[in-house]
């Protein structure tokens, strides 16, 4: 599995270059992103792909020193279940 990267987006494509999973995290300002959307095609569900997408964003946040606002329901649940990443959530 090879993730592809664009500003504010991490995604997977199938062999026909169709998007089959993605997470969107547009910039709010130079210190903050908003994780707005996580989606995984039905054919990949149950394989932990959504968690891997969130983990890719977490890695990018750590490298850049940015924080995240969580409006994506999946991201909210992921962050709630992983207290070790709470420091990346923008609180005010």
- pTM of this structure: 0.93
47, 49, 58, 27 alpha-carbon torsion, rounded to 10°: -160
- Domains in the chain, start-ordered, CATH in brackets? 4-88 (3.40.630.30)
Local confidence band at 1 (pLDDT 50, 70, 90 cut-offs): confident
Question: What is the average pLDDT value for the chain, to the nearest integer?
Answer: 96
């Amino acid at each position: 599995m090879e993730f592809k990267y664009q500003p504010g987006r991490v995604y997977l494509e199938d062999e026909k270059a169709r998007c089959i999973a993605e997470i969107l995290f547009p910039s709010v300002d130079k210190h903050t992103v908003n994780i707005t959307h996580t989606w995984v095609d039905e054919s990949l569900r149950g394989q932990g792909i959504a968690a891997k997408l969130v983990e890719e964003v977490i890695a990018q946040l750590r490298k850049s020193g940015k924080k995240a606002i969580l409006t994506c329901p999946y991201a909210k649940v992921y962050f709630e279940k992983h207290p070790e990443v709470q420091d990346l959530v923008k609180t005010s």
